Amino acid sequence: MKYAETIIDLVGNTPLVRLNRVKDGVAATVLVKLEYLNPGGSAKDRIATRIIDAAEHDGLLKPGGTIVEPTSGNTGVGLALVAQQRGYRCVFVCPDKVGEDKRNVLMAYGAEVVVTPTAVAPDSPESYYGVSDRLAREIPGAFKPNQYANPNGPLSHYETTGPEIWRDTDGKVTHFVAGVGTGGTITGTGRYLREVSNDRVRIIGADPEGSVFSGGTGRPYLVEGVGEDFWPEAYDPAIPHEIIAVSDADSFAMTRRLALEEGILVGGSSGMAVVAALRAAASLGPDDIVVVLLPDGGRGYLGKIFNDKWLRSYGFSNAPAGHTVADLLA
C-alpha cells in the first residue's frame, strides 16, 4: 500500500512542468515548479515544517505551546497545518484590510485570528506588529517564528527545494528564477544550486517594480507576497546574480495567460517570476534549462487578478484579447 502517514509527510517534492505556449519564441526549456501542490497550497509549507522542527529541537516550542505570528497569508496556512498536527495552538494577527476568506482559511485549520486596524502607524502598539509582539510576550509558552529573520526559512529551501530541482533536472538546470519576499526561497534554493553546480547555475531574483530588492524605495505595488520596503534578514543579497523588476501590469497579464494557455492557475507572484524568467531566457539557447518557482495557486486571487472589474479599477486592461464573449462573437 502506498500512503502518507500524515499530511505533513506530503510537503515538498513538487513537480516540474514545461511551459509550452506562453514562451513567445524563447528557445530555452522553461520549467515551472508547482508549489501550489503542497498540502497547504504554497511553498510556505516547507518553511513552516522546518521552523517548527527547529523550535522544538531548540526548546523554544514545548508541548501545549502557542505559535504567534503576524501573517494572513501562506505562512499562516503552513504554520496552522503543522501546528495542528503537532498539537500546538496558533494565534495569527492580521490587519483588517485582509479579506474574510483568508482569515476563514486560517480558522478552518483551527487557528485563532486577531484582527488589528490597518489605519495605524507600524510602530503603534495597536498595529499588527505591536499586537503580535505583545501576545508573544504575554501568552505563556508562546513562540514567534518571525519568518523575515528566521534562518530556518532559507534552510528549508536549501535542504529540500534546491536538491529537488537538481535531482529532477539530472543536474542540467542552468538558471533558477524566484520572486523575493522574505528572500528565503531564493537564498536557500540559490545557495544550494550554486554550491552543487560549482557556481554554474545562474540565480535570478524577480521583484515588483518599486521594491527595495531591485533598487526601489518601497513604492506600492499590487502583486502580493513579494517585494519589501526593508531588507529582511532571511535574504542574502550575495546569492542572486541578478534581480529583474517586473510591473504589476506585466505580472497580472502573465498570471492570466498561465491559466488560459498552460492550464496553470497560480498567484500574481508566479506570473511575475515567469515574466522575469522569459526576459532572462530571451538571450539563451536551446540547451539552457530555466527553472522557475511558482509559490502559490490562483484560487486566493479570484476576486482580484482573475476579476476583470478589479483589474480595470486599477487601470489594467482586462483578460488577454480573444477571450471575452464579445471578442468571440466579433
Min CB(274)–ligand PMP separation in Å = 12
The four Cα atoms 121, 123, 124, 129 give a dihedral, to 10 degrees, of 100
Stretch that binds ligand PMP, among 126-134, 194-202, 221-229, 276-284 (CB under 6 A): 221-229
Stretch that binds ligand PMP, among 7-15, 113-121, 173-181, 213-221 (CB under 6 A): 173-181
Euclidean distance between CA atoms 128 and 201, whole angstroms: 39
Interaction residues for ligand PMP, span 75-134 (CB under 6 A): none
Instruction: Name which position in 65, 70, 179, 210 contacts ligand PMP (CB under 6 A).
Output: 179
Which of residues 162 and 179 has its CB atom nearest to ligand PMP in the complex? Answer: 179
Helices (H), 87-127: 100-108
190 binds ligand PMP (CB under 6 A): no
215, three cell numbers? 533598487
Min CB(183)–ligand PMP separation in Å = 5
Min CB(104)–ligand PMP separation in Å = 18
Q: Is 253 helix (H, G, I), strand (E, B) or coil?
A: helix
Interaction residues for ligand PMP, span 24-43 (CB under 6 A): none
Per DSSP, 161 falls in state I
150 binds ligand PMP (CB under 6 A): no
208 binds ligand PMP (CB under 6 A): no
12 binds ligand PMP (CB under 6 A): no
Contact indicator for 92, 70 with CB cutoff of 8 Å: yes
Euclidean distance between CA atoms 245 and 222, whole angstroms: 14
Instruction: Name which position in 74, 127, 146, 255 contacts ligand PMP (CB under 6 A).
Output: 74
Instruction: Name which position in 72, 146, 156, 182 contacts ligand PMP (CB under 6 A).
Output: 182
Q: Sign of the C-alpha dihedral, residues 129, 213, 54, 9?
A: positive
Stretch that binds ligand PMP, among 15-23, 52-60, 175-183, 249-257 (CB under 6 A): 175-183
Which of residues 65 and 268 has its CB atom nearest to ligand PMP in the complex? Answer: 268
184 binds ligand PMP (CB under 6 A): yes
Stretch that binds ligand PMP, among 51-59, 120-128, 176-184, 239-247 (CB under 6 A): 176-184
Could you give the angle at which helices 74-86 and 100-108 cross, rounded to 10 degrees?
A: 20
DSSP letter string over 19-87? --STTTT--SEEEEEEGGGSTTSBTHHHHHHHHHHHHHHTTSS-TT-EEEEE--SHHHHHHHHHHHHHT
**Which residues make Cβ contacts (< 8 Å) with residue 178, sequence separation at least 6?**
185, 186, 189, 190, 205, 206, 273, 292, 293, 295
255, three cell numbers? 498570471
295 binds ligand PMP (CB under 6 A): yes
What are the residue numbers of the active site? Answer: 44
- The C-alpha R_g of the chain, in whole angstroms, comes to 20
For 126, phi then psi, to 5°, come to -85, -10
Min CB(147)–ligand PMP separation in Å = 7
Which of residues 91 and 186 has its CB atom nearest to ligand PMP in the complex? Answer: 186
Min CB(89)–ligand PMP separation in Å = 23
Report the interface residues with ligand PMP, using CB under 6 A.
73-74, 179-185, 224-226, 267, 269, 295-296
